[in-house]
Structure 1
Amino acid sequence: MLVRSNVIPWVPAAIVAVSVFATSCAGQTDDASAPKSKASASAPHGYVEGAQEKAEQQSRLLLNDPGTGDTRVLDLITGEAQEVSRRTGTTGLTTDGRFGYFHTSGGMHVLDGGAWTVDHGDHVHYYRAAVRDVGRLPGGPGPRVRSDAAVTTVTDEDGRARIYRRADLEKGKVGSPRTLPGTQAGVVVPYAEHLLSLTDDGQDAARLTVYDREGKRVASPDAACQDPRGDSVTRRGVVLGCGDGALLVREADGTFTAQRIPYGEDVPEKERATAFRHRPGSDTLTAPAGDRAVWVLDVTERTWTRVKTGPVVSANTAGEGSVLIVLETDGSLHGYDITTGKQVSKTKPLLTGAPEAGTEGNTGPVIEVDRSRAYLNDPKGKRVYEIDYNDNLRVARTFDLDIEPALMVETGR
């Protein structure tokens, strides 16, 4: 693989100082997002068996060519692409920040991307390990996967939900799941050591239900959601998309509450937000608003902004004052000021051929955003672009590949 750059290749700046690594995790339970060894008490703080702790985020891109099944893991620190087992019949690719879920008609293949982050609130640990196959999660078409530090949920299109132990996946095996009772109207989202779901129960609108991790219903906040579609976990709580806007679900001292964030206008069905994209850790969400606009949901301010654009293929933003990045059908990235709606930057056409819009997990160009860079896959051109969104969408690096990366997700976050 060839890496082309118009600057010295970028390496993420270390954001964890020496004093941070010395900080104790006393008073906190072991984080299930990293398997703990049975090492003695002399093991260094944050030690994970089989993994190396690093001073910076170990970002990687998981890439798949659905036509051939060829799969690569692109290390964004070294710029090298690793060939892994082929994944044939792949119709979609999603991630929870560490594991890649390759969707097929007969279930999902799980790949441990070998890079992840453990956030303890006052300090962060970054880990790097070998890429490895985990196994297959059974299920029909269209399953949706969501995870937290302890569990991974898989919700089928028919509303059946299964709960897997995260620790099993981290040990390289799928394990035996528990099944959530009944059927769900939307995806099951792990949050605050519980499971959030929208259940039908024969009502006009789905009702918010809270389960414990064993599948027992423990709360039913007074909140309804018509036509639920789309969800996202933010530092402010869980956002659930609804026909009239969104619900923001929060937990405090064991009590769950839901606040409605309405559009503030009557939005036609084809222009509603149905799938959110954002930078992990950000409270600013994006979603297509029909063919020629993008919704930006500021979770902190509880406001929606509709930014008029050209024909939308994909959109994302780093939030917190950054531009809205929109891939349009001209093959260029366009940067928009979210507050004014004005276009403030634009690249030359980057994609080979005319791009087409897709949906969550489906093939096609997407924009992945982390704390410093954005990434755009060019399937027909067999390349991935690294974009400096803080410098007028400058192309910082170009990764030439030997496959068509029609499916792409970023891990290590």
Structure 2
Amino acid sequence: MRFRFAAASGILLLTLAGCAAPAAPAPEPTSSTTTEGDGHGQIEGARELAEPALHLTTIDADGIVHHLDLLDEETSVLAEIEPVDDIVTDGRYLFGIREGSVTVIDSGVWTWSHIDHFHYYEAPARVLGEITGQGVPDVVTGDAGIGVRFADEAVLLDATALADGQIEEAFRIPADGGDGLVVPLASGAVMTDADGSASPSLRVVAADGSTVGDGIPCESASGTITTVVGVVIGCADGAVMFTGGDPAAVERIPYPEGTAPAATGFAAREARPRVAAVAGSTGVWILDTRQRTWTLQDVGEPIVQAAAIDDADGRVLALTADGAVLVLADGQVIARTEPLVAASLADAEAADGVRFVVDQNRAYLNGPIEQTMWEIDAADGARVARTFETAYAPLQLAGTGR
């Protein structure tokens, strides 16, 4: 395995209002400086920042992991790993997915929630190691764990151990052959059965790998997301939600009768209650996990992706089949870009890596064939605020520092 590291961009260290802190900024530490944690998400070797160190992370065809600092627009190389087929992130850790293994990378930038405000940290980036198994795995992130589903095994990683630079498996248990998910909960996880099982269901598993209670009916389980309300898994007839991530607090959110095909994936700004999913060929589902309702919006043209911004105006982004970004609100298209990723969507391999990264103020989109990333202001008529051209194909895109 090949690894190469680059230090993250330096940002002035300032204290944050709202928690006990020195009256004046401390001198900026070097990467070797150790600072004491105070229960606010800080760990040894990290430094606190005045604002989030937001980055776009991309991986090229050679497995080089690029880190674009959205503040100063400087790019560094986090690591060189074996090429990947997909990448998943929880906002700090990156999981590079390929046949037979997952590479775990600590991006070195993260946000820690203190309920009514946030703390922002930066530390040296590093590759933590590999998880291996059979087939191409699915990875699902969670606050307490990381679920990894191989072809014949289900693995739950301890999220706390990652902060110490360790990859620790809470459990590794046999799983039915075929596709499936391991979705972390506040304690343990929920596993989906492979398609075609006699009684499709969700199985709650404790942190030691033992099954808890009876199966939860869920035909054609597909897609999952964690919102501020709970952990959601899509089913043929709606969604199952574990409120607060509690394995015992199970709710069903059924689709309205006589509506569009089921959602097979969800996307949204982190920790918001409303999420979006593609509905059939031209529709977008909005799932409000706080109100326990589904709303269908028919865009009137082919849609390949959707993501909920869930701002004050309830905006949703949709990516059209010809590569344009739409902004939806109240069921209407209120803004549209020019086709940005037409060439990438026309290429089957490149299209798999095209995706949105959404935060409070901006959305980002990558075009592998176009060798470009775009920053889009959805609140200002889908204005392209910045364009980042690359000397490589950004095959995979993730947002870190969030």
Specify the TM-score bucket, using the shorter chain as the normaliser. Answer: 0.7 to 0.9
Question: What is aligned with 1:115?
Answer: 109
CA offsets, 1:379-413, max 9 Å, x none?
A: 12211111111111111111121111121011222
Query: Cα distance 1:139–1:382, how it changes in 2: closer, same or farther (>3 A)?
Result: same
Question: What is aligned with 2:137?
Answer: 143
Mapped partners of 2:323, 2:263: distance in 1: 23
Question: What is aligned with 1:30?
Answer: none
Aligned mate of 2:357, from 346, 356, 368: 368
Maintained 8 Å contact 2:185/2:247: no
Higher relative contact order (CA 8 A, sep 6+): 1
SS at match of 2:18: helix
Maintained 8 Å contact 2:239/2:253: yes
1:245 aligns with 2:238: yes
Question: What is aligned with 1:409?
Answer: 398
SS at match of 1:355: helix
Equivalent AA in structure 2 for residue 224 of structure 1: P
Maintained 8 Å contact 1:245/1:262: yes
- 1:348 is displaced (CA, Å) by 2.2
SS at match of 1:353: helix
Mapped partners of 1:400, 1:333: distance in 2: 18
- 1:100 is displaced (CA, Å) by 1.2
Mapped partners of 2:19, 2:347: distance in 1: 42
Aligned mate of 1:156, from 128, 150, 153: 150
Match runs of 1:58-77 below 5 Å: 58-66=53-61, 68-77=62-71
Select between 398-407 and 306-315 the one with higher mean Cα deviation.
306-315
Mapped partners of 2:40, 2:276: distance in 1: 37
SS at match of 1:390: helix
Maintained 8 Å contact 1:356/1:364: no
Select between 304-313 and 162-171 the one with higher mean Cα deviation.
162-171
Question: What is aligned with 2:84?
Answer: 90
- 1:281 is displaced (CA, Å) by 0.9
1:48 aligns with 2:43: yes
1:207 aligns with 2:204: no
Any unmatched runs of 5+ in structure 1?
1-15, 23-36
Question: What is aligned with 2:306?
Answer: 315
Question: What is aligned with 1:79?
Answer: 73
Query: Cα distance 1:119–1:212, how it changes in 2: closer, same or farther (>3 A)?
Result: farther
Query: Cα distance 1:181–1:103, how it changes in 2: closer, same or farther (>3 A)?
Result: closer
Aligned-residue Cα RMSD (Å) equals 3.1
SS at match of 1:18: coil
Match runs of 1:298-377 below 5 Å: 298-309=288-299, 310-320=301-311, 321-337=313-329, 339=330, 341-351=331-341, 353=343, 355-356=345-346, 363-377=352-366
1:230 aligns with 2:226: no
Calculate the TM-score normalised by the size of structure 1: 0.81
Query: How many equivalent pairs are there?
Result: 374
Maintained 8 Å contact 1:231/1:241: yes
Equivalent AA in structure 2 for residue 242 of structure 1: C
Mapped partners of 1:272, 1:294: distance in 2: 10
1:170 aligns with 2:163: yes
SS at match of 2:162: helix
- 1:148 is displaced (CA, Å) by 3.2
- 1:72 is displaced (CA, Å) by 0.7
Select between 230-239 and 187-196 the one with higher mean Cα deviation.
187-196
Match runs of 1:263-282 below 5 Å: 263-266=255-258, 271-282=261-272
Query: Cα distance 1:167–1:44, how it changes in 2: closer, same or farther (>3 A)?
Result: closer
Query: Cα distance 1:261–1:347, how it changes in 2: closer, same or farther (>3 A)?
Result: same
Question: What is aligned with 1:387?
Answer: 376
Maintained 8 Å contact 1:234/1:281: yes
- 1:277 is displaced (CA, Å) by 0.8
Question: What is aligned with 1:294?
Answer: 284
Query: Cα distance 1:19–1:40, how it changes in 2: closer, same or farther (>3 A)?
Result: closer
SS at match of 2:97: strand
1:18 aligns with 2:13: no
Question: What is aligned with 1:8?
Answer: none
1:378 aligns with 2:367: yes
Mapped partners of 2:327, 2:35: distance in 1: 49
Aligned mate of 1:57, from 52, 57, 63: 52
- 1:209 is displaced (CA, Å) by 3.5
Equivalent AA in structure 1 for residue 138 of structure 2: R
Maintained 8 Å contact 2:222/2:234: yes
Question: What is aligned with 1:196?
Answer: 190
Maintained 8 Å contact 2:35/2:47: no
Question: What is aligned with 2:12?
Answer: none
Any unmatched runs of 5+ in structure 2?
1-14, 22-32
Mapped partners of 1:257, 1:203: distance in 2: 25
Query: Cα distance 1:308–1:194, how it changes in 2: closer, same or farther (>3 A)?
Result: same
- 1:334 is displaced (CA, Å) by 1.1
Equivalent AA in structure 1 for residue 257 of structure 2: E
- 1:217 is displaced (CA, Å) by 3.3
- 1:82 is displaced (CA, Å) by 0.9
Question: What is aligned with 1:12?
Answer: none
Q: Percent identity?
A: 32
